[in-house]
Amino acid sequence: MHGGSSAGSTQIQPSDHIKYRNEEQQSDGMKIVTGDSVLLGTMSFRLVADKFDMNGFGLEPDPTSSPTTGIKIYQYIKNYYEAESTFRFTDETASDDANLTDIVVSSGEKNVEPETYKEYDLDPEFDNQDPNEYTVTIKDYIDAVDVTATKSEEHATMKIKVPKHKDDGSLDYDGNDEDSIQYTETDLTSGDPFKVSLNKLGEPDTIITITVTAEDGTEKTYKVTIKRPYGIIEGNIITETTIGTTDTYNAEIRVYKSDDVSADGINWNDIISGTSTYEGVHDKLIQLESMNYKTNDDGTYKIYVIPGTYDILIDKPGYLDVIYKDREVQLEETEQLGEDDKLIAGDINKDGTIQVADLSMLMSIFAINNTDPQYEIKYDFNEDTEIQVADLSILMSNFTKEVTVN
């Protein structure tokens, strides 16, 4: 019986109808001999439950058993059920348990790659007390988490509602109203991880709701808000060589954790402009793990990062690198990099200085256009689809200029 317990006792009354099966071997047990009805015993029990609906309780005859018996069950003295057959108790009272026993927010593969697995703390700790609202703060660069909910009662059902995202990973809004985030709702299996895509840094918190529906229709909702602290890196670049041709200022912004750069053997204090100390540094940076972004066509960029210390590379093929080192990004603050950073064209081989080697590379493919298989954008400084006198003039005007580390 759902939600209840019973206690009972049976007393066998002395009777001439009860005899041993074998007087010599009493271990064979007892037998009942009667040609009429006989009282064999009485049984009493008490139900203990917070809620008991008599509409769900009854007696079910068992057609496979005999003999028949007379039985009367009382509840509150006056109400009773009565039957004259062998019987089974039945209780169809539906459970009202809509509780969870646990919620886990995690990342990584617990069973595949245990070293990548991580569980995030709920604030407050899960205790199933109202209000059932929890906060999780994530300071890792991840795009998704697993949410695992475990229900208390097996007959309950669960649904999870999560934010809807576009193909590029950004939040899906209903029109232009930032307060009308779109959500999707899906069935949730108890104890199984459910993959949830996180809102991007700088977007509103990722809000997840889990609705548990008990067997009797009772509902309980749990809310988990995932916060991603962030700061901002902001700036803009100019490529004067494209003025009058494309009139766009495009470059790639690579953001590195400063500790990762130094761990890779790059010490900015040892880099001396115009010397071989920069040689190979660009290639190391390209191979190092980074967060990569592109400037807007007007050269502006605004990057959301987890607060921390970063090195930033502004990279454009055929141009001198621009480096920013050890930039501390504070929570909810903006780290402003160069305004109108002018990128200097001519460093074709990316060794940190514009010199004879770059001139030689340019002259080796001089006078071709973008229909030629040898054409590469790193030679076409003004991006007019041709490698010609204008590009040579640009390189010569920047001759001997060097990479800058800010």
Q: What is the mean pLDDT of the chain?
A: 85
Average pLDDT over residues 294-298: 97
Mapped to the 3 state alphabet, what secondary structure does 319-357 carry? ECCEEEEEEEECCCCEEECCCCEECCECCCCCCCECCHH
pLDDT bin (cut points 50, 70, 90) of residue 3 is: very low
Pairing label, strands 183-188, 157-163 = antiparallel
Average pLDDT over residues 370-396: 97
pLDDT at residue 208 above 70? Answer: yes
pLDDT for position 159:
98
Could you check whether 100-227 and 231-405 share the same CATH topology? yes
Q: Residue ranges per domain, the chain? A: 8-91, 100-227, 231-405
CB 335 within 8 A of CB 256: no
pLDDT for position 338:
87
pLDDT for position 362:
97
pLDDT for position 1:
34
221-238 b/e (C-beta count within 10 Å ≥ 16 → b): ebebbbebebbbbebbbb
pLDDT for position 93:
73
pLDDT for position 113:
83
Average pLDDT over residues 54-76: 54
Q: What is the CATH number of domain 100-227?
A: 2.60.40
pLDDT for position 129:
83
pLDDT at residue 67 above 70? Answer: no
pLDDT at residue 40 above 70? Answer: no
Residue 219 CA from chain centroid, whole number? 25
Pairing label, strands 322-329, 404-405 = parallel
CA-only gyration radius of the chain, Å: 39
Which single residue is written with the structure tokens 């007007």? 298
CB 242 within 8 A of CB 382: yes
pLDDT bin (cut points 50, 70, 90) of residue 4 is: very low
pLDDT at residue 304 above 70? Answer: yes
pLDDT for position 7:
40
- The residues near 53 (Cβ < 8 Å, ≥ 6 apart) are 93
**How far apart are the C-alpha atoms of 62 and 86, rounded to whole Å?**
6
pLDDT at residue 206 above 80? Answer: yes
Q: Which fold has domain 231-405?
A: Immunoglobulin-like (2.60.40)
Token pair in block for residue 189 = 């299996």
pLDDT, one tens digit per residue, over 139-191 is 999 999 999 999 999 999 999 999 999 999 999 998 766 678 999 999 999 99
Can you list the pairs that 362-368 forms with residues at least 24 positions away whose Cβ atoms lie under 8 Å? Answer: 362/387, 362/391, 362/392, 362/395, 363/392, 366/392
pLDDT for position 10:
43
% residues pLDDT > 90 (the chain): 67
pLDDT bin (cut points 50, 70, 90) of residue 232 is: very high
CB 326 within 8 A of CB 309: yes
Q: Packing angle between helix 356-364 and helix 389-397, nearest 10 degrees?
A: 180
The single-letter DSSP state of residue 367 is: T
Lowest mean pLDDT across 29-38, 220-229, 380-389: 29-38
pLDDT for position 201:
95
Which single residue is written with the structure tokens 């049984």? 43
pLDDT, one tens digit per residue, over 93-145 is 788 999 999 999 999 988 888 888 999 999 999 988 888 999 999 999 999 99
